[in-house]
Chains A and B, each alone.
Chain A
Amino acid sequence: MTQITYAGVTVDVNEEGYFTNPSQWTRDIAAEIAKEEGIVLTDQHYAIIDFLRSRHNNGEALSIRSINHSGIIDVKTFYQLFPGAPLKKATKIAGIPKPSSCI
């Protein structure tokens, strides 16, 4: 287990930098991780982050497809907000585990 300090708070992460304890997350922490990824968070970013966190807390699987059902943004916008690999980046910034397909 690795520890990193974001916004003055020490948090537990795995070898890929994903939170192992999502309750350590704060909005300020999100902004700092996002900065490392070259992203400045807007209200729209936070809205989708909240959506991802609440799904995770409900034990529901996360997928690109589920974004279309979020009622917040469509997948294309998701790619614009978190360029490259949106789900991986967004979950890292949201302080939740990297989604794994269940096979």
Chain B
Amino acid sequence: MKRIVILGAGTAGIMMSNKLHKHLAGSEFELSVIEKEDTHYYQPGFLFLPFGHYKKKDIAKPVNELISKGAELIKKEADRIDAEGNEVLFKDGSSISYDILIIATGARIVPEDTPGLKGELWQKKIFDFYTIEGASALAEFFETWEGGRLVVNVADNPIKCPVAPIEFCFYALDCFRKRGIGNKMKITYVTPLSGAFTKPKASKMLGSLLEDNGIELVTDFFLGEVDNENMKIRDFGGREVEFDCLVTIPLHSGDPVISKSGLGDEFGFVKADKNTLQSVLFKNIFVIGDAGNYPVSKAGSVAHFQAEVLEKNIMSFIKNEPLKESFDGHSNCFIETGRGKGILIDFNYDTEPLPGTFPVPVLGPMKLLKESRINHWGKLAFKWIYWKILLPGRKMPISAHMSMAGKKTD
């Protein structure tokens, strides 16, 4: 028997295992999935957890229930990949050999890389919401918080889900208004970008929405250190922003396994071809989702569209055929803006988010780059879609490749 190994059972790894399993049943390939954690979290839910709108149990499921029975789930922690020897080596000294390796080790936050961030105020006045621990600690803090200066800061890019910090600002304001302490809140969004977002049209739209809501925007701010004593964040140039509560989106890195195996860039993201999703160093290694150094959002929607491309490319690779499918950088994100509304953006490597309707021209029903109630419902419905359609590897009625249909250009 030959073996395909998927390293990591996050969103990307689970989707891939369930897609591939369908093709491999009865073939000469067996499928193994390596994951050290027992629980998989629906990460978009981390946005709602701090405000008590989801509890931990609402967004958690055991990993073994999400992987199809035909794949072998190995609950072990990988230490490194021996790419020359086609083996994954585990921390316990054992190993597994592979014919094809799919790396899906994701991205993680590294608050320890910024001086003072994990200082005495960590999880007392300084919180992340990109981990279950951080989001839960913040929920507890917010329960009794009576308002003040809330600073939401992105340390530097790349980060997972680049719209989440902005959504957090809108959503926090909405929740605190409902609690009757909106007037005691001053929310500041501090970003290394030169605007609210990278792409011009979306940046302008989100920038004015921040302004309309009285959310202050501080740009070109690269976090250098956190001053716990004076409760300030400071950029490398010495600019300061004071906070009463700091919600940080810390620096991100790839899994330590990647750097240890010599497969990554300086931040530990795997160097791979942005179209074929194949490692640039080893032909039998592929990379999906946040683990890759792709010039694209680190987001579940991207992993989903990549999975459709990678499914076909892996099957071509098995048959010794050229890799025909090409990933175009398609991303699709709901942005929660509070008051029961949301924005939807749809874009790829070459096309920035544009206004229009989605997925059907004129009819929508979703509106692109515009606030609407149906977009908000789309976001809430997405949780069901995630568990029932995306993770099981079922087909969505949306193409992996971005479509210009319904989009308005200048």
Residues of chain A having any CB pair with chain B under 8 Å? 60-61, 63-66, 69, 75-76, 78-79, 83-86, 88, 100-103
Contact = CB atoms under 8 A, between A and B. Distances in A.
A75 B198 contact: no
A7 to B, nearest CB: 28
Main secondary structure of the interface of B (DSSP, over half): loop
From A65, A66, A102, A103, residue with most partner B Cβ within 10 Å:
A103
Contacts of A79: 236-238
Interface residues of B, number: 27
A84 B237 contact: yes
Top 9 A-B pairs, shortest CB-CB distance? A102-B295, A103-B162, A69-B266, A101-B157, A64-B222, A79-B237, A75-B236, A101-B198, A103-B297
B229 to A, nearest CB: 20
B157 A76 contact: no
23 contacts: A60-B265, A61-B295, A64-B156, A64-B222, A64-B236, A65-B156, A65-B251, A65-B267, A66-B266, A69-B266, A75-B236, A79-B236, A85-B220, A86-B237, A100-B198, A101-B157, A101-B158, A101-B192, A101-B198, A102-B198, A102-B294, A102-B296, A102-B297
Contacts of A69: 266
B237 A83 contact: yes
Contacts of B297: 102-103
Interface of B: 156-158, 162-163, 192-194, 197-199, 220, 222, 224, 236-238, 251, 265-267, 293-297, 331
A64 B157 CA distance: 9
Main secondary structure of the interface of A (DSSP, over half): loop
Contacts of A83: 237
From A60, A83, A101, residue with most partner B Cβ within 10 Å:
A101
B295 A75 contact: no
A76 B237 CA distance: 7
